[in-house]
Structures are given as C-alpha cells and as structure tokens.
C-alpha cells in the first residue's frame, strides 16, 4: 500500500524532531487528529447512499444483449422497445449505452454475466 501524502509529511516531520521535545507531542496530536479525520471520512463514505439509475435502459440490459446476439440492429432494438416495452428510445442511445458498457471498447464483450444489473429503486 502506498503511503498518502499526509503520511509522508508526518514521517518527514518526525525525523526532524528530537525525541522528548514539545514539538514531538504536537506531532503526535496532529497525527491523532489526521487519523480521526480519515476515520470520519471513511464513515461518511459508507453512509452515502448510491445514486439512482441514470439510464432507463439499465433494467433492460439483458434484453439488449439478447437482441444484439441475435444480430438485431440498434434501430430494430429501438422498435422492439417502443412496441413491446412502451419505451421510446433512439437507436443512437442504445448504441451509446452498449458502447459504454463494453469492456475496453472491444466488440461483442458485453454479456449478461459480465455486467452487473442493478434493480431500480
């Protein structure tokens, strides 16, 4: 694990101090304060809720993957969504959705097992 900038600074200050001095006591207090701040930040991050889904296509990734495997065009997928799911979506939106979720931008790497599907809140 790489030490943080704060850890490096504290270590540098500690090397410059003479053991038993009042500066060393101040450094210990500073270190304790920084550690407490790190713990508070970690707790805040754990308490921060996940953001809701941004795309209306998220819950339907398995449908898109299945239709793409059947060599359906993005236009045909958009028509399928409009006719069967009552979702109006442009073919370019579906293309962008698939492109963003491909691993490394390589073709045909999007699959149901590789992409974690989140349920809407």
The reported pLDDT for the residue numbered 24 is 64
Helix (H) or strand (E) holding 77: helix 74-80
Number of domains in the chain: 2
Boundaries of domain holding 39: 5-47
In this structure, are 62 and 120 located in the same domain? yes
On whether both 65 and 93 belong to a single domain, the answer is yes
- Is residue 29 domain-shared with residue 59, that is, in the same domain? no
**What pLDDT is attached to residue 64?**
95
Dump pLDDT digits (tens) for 73-120: 999 999 999 999 999 999 999 999 999 888 665 555 455 455 554 555
pLDDT at 101: 83
Q: How many residues would you count in the chain?
A: 121
Question: Between 91-101 and 61-69, two packed helices, what is the crossing angle to 10 degrees?
Answer: 100
Contact partners, residue 115, CB within 8 Å, separation at least 6: 61, 65, 101
89/71 same-domain check: yes
Q: How far apart are CA 76 and CA 61, in angstroms?
A: 15
pLDDT value at position 21? Answer: 61
- Residue 52 three-state SS: coil
Considering the domain architecture, whether residues 14 and 36 belong to the same structural domain is answered as yes
Residue (of 4, 1, 24) closest to 13 by Cα position: 24
Give the tens place of pLDDT for each residue, 22-61: 666 777 777 777 777 788 888 888 888 888 878 889 899 9
Identify whether residues 80 and 61 lie together within a single domain. Answer: yes
């Amino acid at each position: 694990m790489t030490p943080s900038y704060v850890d490096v600074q504290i270590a540098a200050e500690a090397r410059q101090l003479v053991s038993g001095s009042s500066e060393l006591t101040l450094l210990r207090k500073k270190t304790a304060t920084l550690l407490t701040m790190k713990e508070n930040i970690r707790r805040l991050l754990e308490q921060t809720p996940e953001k809701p889904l941004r795309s209306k296509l998220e819950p339907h990734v398995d449908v898109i993957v299945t239709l793409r495997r059947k060599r359906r065009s993005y236009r045909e997928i958009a028509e399928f969504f409009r006719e069967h799911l009552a979702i109006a979506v442009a073919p370019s939106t579906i293309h962008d959705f698939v492109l963003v979720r491909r691993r490394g931008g390589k073709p045909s790497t999007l699959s149901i097992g590789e992409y974690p599907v989140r349920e809407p809140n």
